[in-house]
Amino acid sequence: MRVCVRACVCVYIHRFLVCPQVSGELDDCHCDVESIDRFNNELLFPKLQALLQTDYFRFYKVNLNKPCPFWTSGSHCGLRDCTVKPCSPTREALKNWTKHDDEAQRFCLLDDEWCPDSQYVDLLLNPERFTGYKGPEAWKIWTSIYEENCFKPFTVKRPLSPLYSSGRSEGQCVEKRAFYRLISGLHASISIHLSARYLLSDEWFEKRWGPNVSEFRSRFDSELTQGEGPKRLRNLYFLFLIELRALVKALPVVKEGSFKLFTGQPQEDCRNKERLLDLLHTARSFPLHFNETSLFAGDETEAAKLKEDVRLAFMNISRIMDCVECFKCRLWGKLQTQGLGTALKILFSELPSSPPSSRLTLNRQELVALVNAIGRISTSIKELQNFRELLAEDT
């Protein structure tokens, strides 16, 4: 038995690599995995978790009844754990939040806040975890995302497996490569959540959720995934850098005196804004941020066309979330997609190729989605540490 310890513990047992080695610098940015681990696990993660417990960030308004626009869905998931519990009517005060989204620079679809089918959902009562939703219908979602909406590496054969992710898409420009890595990173993050909160036992009166090491290995083990597992995890870290940078770029908007986190509780609203500002200042203290000015540089006409291609591709991916048959999976898919779309909106709003339109604004839906989205990515990186420790205990 051989044990190697670096950013990730690699343990060789029965000739299988049970924890993928992820360390060193990431592609397309000047940052390393070890620095992200320390910063996230020690500084960012605790503050994010505290903020996500507050009323402002735990309630998300979403329309879960939109029909799939791309194919006829046979039925909805009938599993108990696929259902979503709506919040109580007493929380309806949240819909008084003033809508002021920036329509021109949207990167994902915002559900109509006044649509009769939209409802507030308490995210703490509906945690993201393994629901039992799997098989052909679940694979169909990721196949559609990767095959039809991602800028795929030229060297990849068709059809593309939903579990495929390229660490670096050879032959592509940095923008298309980055977009592909973001989707791969989101897929990796969701896979970690499902592995970390897996249904381990289902007794008559009690269910027990916890980490499933075998499920984690099946998705990220280097040998079991033909070397793709570590690449997926590196894309997760790349996604973290993108959303972290978006938090920092949102700081000037949140600092404005007129920017309120309205829940109808003035004192709590004030404390929540202080907590959010503290989080954003912490994010700004990270020394190795992604440089978004490297994107869409060069010829302005070509850059604007490429940016629009990326925006439309992401809009299409947001529509695919309405095809997910598990309502709880749809909820978290829509939220995290909107969060990433908000991050892209923020980063792209100040690039040279952006039109000289009105200044950046964020509405409640976008801010709640953004903070929850990076909360999910932050949790994934934290869970990686937990899996390393579990795997080390098995040696």
DSSP state of 42: I
Query: Quick one: pLDDT at residue 391?
Result: 83
Annotated binding residue 184: yes
Does the annotation place 301 within a ligand binding site? no
Whether the Cβ atoms of residue 103 and residue 315 lie closer than 8 Å to each other: no
pLDDT tens digit sequence for 309-338 = 888 888 888 899 999 999 999 999 999 999
CA 109/CA 93 separation, integer angstroms: 23
Query: Which of 10, 29, 77, 329 is an active site residue?
Result: 329
The 10 Å Cβ neighbour count of residue 153 is: 19
35 is in an annotated binding site: no
- For residue 340, pLDDT over 70 is answered with yes
- Average pLDDT score over residue span 132-158: 71
- H or E element in which residue 193 lies: helix 174-196
Instruction: Report the alpha-carbon distance of residue 30 to residue 351 in Å, rounded.
Output: 20
Distance from C-alpha of 200 to C-alpha of 190, rounded to nearest angstrom = 18
Is the bond leading into 159 cis (omega within 30 degrees of zero)? yes
Select the more confidently predicted residue: 94 or 201.
201
209 is in an annotated binding site: no
d(CA 140, CA 137): 5
The DSSP result for 132-192, as a single string, is S--SHHHHHHHHHIIIIIS---TTPPSSPPTT---SS-TTS-HHHHHHHHHHHHHHHHHHH
pLDDT tens by residue, 146-167:
876 656 554 443 344 444 444 4
Mean pLDDT of 343-365: 75
Residue 85 gets which letter from DSSP? Answer: P
Say whether 326 is catalytic.
Answer: yes
The most confident of the ranges 133-137, 170-174, 267-271, 314-318 is 267-271
**pLDDT mean across residues, the chain:** 80
116 three-state secondary structure: coil
Is the model's pLDDT at 26 over the cut of 50? yes
Q: 329 an active-site residue? A: yes
